[in-house]
Each structure stands twice: as C-alpha cells, then as structure tokens.
Amino acid sequence: MSTIFGKILRGEIPADIVYEDEQCIAFRDINAVAPMHVLVIPRREIARLDEMTEADEPLVGHLLRVATLVAKHEGYPDFRMVVNNGAGASQTVWHLHVHVIGGRSLSWPPG
C-alpha cells in the first residue's frame, strides 16, 4: 500500500530533500518539531519497523548511518532519532521512517 511518502519517492509531490542514494532518501518534516527535523526513509515500501527481517539489517543500519550523517551535516552533533512503530506509538504514515531531530534541548522521557 503506497503512502504520501511513496508519492515523494516517485516525485509526485514535492519535498525538501536533503540527501538521497540508491537505498533511501531524507527530507525535511513538513511539521517540524525542532530546528532540525528530517525523515530518513527506505526507497522500499516497508510499512513499519517490525516488518523488518534479518535480511534487512544492512538497510536498517544504513538508515541510522545516513540519519547520523544528516545531523552532522546540518550542524547538530547532539540529536535524537525516533521510530514510531504502530498507531499506539503515534505512527501516522505507514512507510518506515526515522525521525532525526535536533537544535533544541530534548527532554527525557519522551511523551
């Protein structure tokens, strides 16, 4: 099932893309919760984190590595990554995405 992120991947709707390669793209969240709020998504349409298999471990690692490089490139050595998995965890778009957030003080525990 395609989502709004699938439309971004196919270039059907615009996005502020900050990075892309053969496995993933990263773009700014349309409703940023911090000065830096980027989403890193795989090109493959995977609905949620718990659909990943052992074979996907390199892809998961790649997403985290890209997210880290994006944060550093944006000038935020301190950052947070979030993956919401399921409606009860506030997932709203059913295409796996890593939130990369930084540029303000981030408290713990999260809401």
Which residues are part of the catalytic machinery?
Answer: 97
The neighbour count for residue 39, using CB atoms within 10 Å, is 23
CB 78 within 8 Å of CB 35: no
Which residues have C-beta within 8 Å of that of residue 99, sequence separation ≥ 6?
29, 37, 38, 39, 80, 81, 82, 83, 84
Q: How far is the CB of 96 from ligand AMP (least distance, A)?
A: 9
Q: Which of residues 66-85 bind ligand AMP (CB under 6 A)?
A: 84
Measured from the CB atom, the residue of 21 and 30 that comes closer to ligand AMP is 30
With tokens 């709020």, the residue in question is 37
By the rule CB under 6 A, 56 interacts with ligand AMP: no
Site string for ligand AMP, 21-40 (x = CB under 6 A): --------xxx-------x-
Which residues have C-beta within 8 Å of that of residue 33, sequence separation ≥ 6?
101
Q: How far is the CB of 54 from ligand AMP (least distance, A)?
A: 24
Binding site for ligand AMP (CB under 6 A): 4, 15, 29-31, 39, 84, 90-93
